[in-house]
Chains A and B, each alone.
Chain A
Amino acid sequence: MTLQTVLVVAAALFAVGLYGALSQQVVVMVMMGLELMINGVLLAAAGFWWFLAPDPSGQVLLLVVLAAMTVEMAMGFAVATLVHRRRRTDMTDMAEDLAR
């Protein structure tokens, strides 16, 4: 286990998540893609901490990433609920006009 291998695994997780975020139509599946991307960031941050500078302040960065994950999830579910309530759909293609 080296920093390089940890970062390659993190890159793989990030790339898989990116594929999901770009290709999925269901809002919850898009959120799953975003979660996987943050999962990769989390692993990379843990690797940087362990292999480069294992002082306590680096761990705070991981806590911030976890908090970002939580906020993303909560807001994603809230928006998904709103879109479903207003439009009776959970597909991103049915809410394209929100991007304009």
Chain B
Amino acid sequence: MLIGIAFWVLAVVAVAAGVAVFVVDSMARATYALALSFIAVGVQILLLGQSYLGVITILMMVMEMAVMAVYMVMFMGMNPALMPMDMTHGKKTAIGASAGVFVLLAAGALLIPWPERRGVPPEDVTAALGLEIMGEKMLVMAVIGPVMVATIVAGVVLAAHRSRYDRFGDDLRRRPADDPQAGGVGR
């Protein structure tokens, strides 16, 4: 009963905060609203018996939203808490598409005869997940690892101010490198 009430309160908070992201008139408030939505979903995941995943969802998303707030200040070049804004396009199409998708998904959720639950949760869910990652599902984590490394490399390459082509020329033969400040050995 108590869990049911908590779930519905969190559901309202998660969806209302999600809507607020696109309704509030400043990017800073939008970031806080998104963080609130993620926290509500994280607690719902905790209610669904997955303590580890619920906690990392909350921790990861709060940090991510902090980074996002920094980006907004950086790109917008203003105090985003004080500057009202409405930068949208194709609002009616977007509302129609999202309403259609919601009706479709909700109808599927309510009309599909879902099967009965098979099995019971392990006694220690987190320990069971750890054993699974280090055992049968190690391949999944072994793939995620390189994907993360590739993401870091691609992120740095895309975001870097000056690439090696800027330093060494189009054919990479320019010596010494064209650096604003000489560096390295033998400067």
Contacts and interface: CB of A to CB of B under 8 A. Distances in A.
A84 B72 CA distance: 12
Nearest to B136: A57
A25 B41 contact: no
A59 B174 CA distance: 52
Contacts of B147: 67, 71
Contact of A85 (B30, B71, B125, B161): B161
Between A17, A23, A35, A81, the greatest number of chain B beta carbons within 10 A of the residue's beta carbon is seen for A23
Interface residues of B, number: 82
Contacts, number: 234
Interface of B: 3-4, 7-8, 11, 14-15, 18-19, 21-22, 27, 30-31, 34, 37-38, 41, 44-45, 47-50, 53, 56-57, 60, 64, 67-68, 71-72, 75-76, 87-91, 93-95, 97-99, 101-102, 105-106, 108-110, 114-115, 117-122, 125, 128-129, 131-133, 136-137, 140-141, 144, 147-148, 151-152, 154-156, 158-159, 161
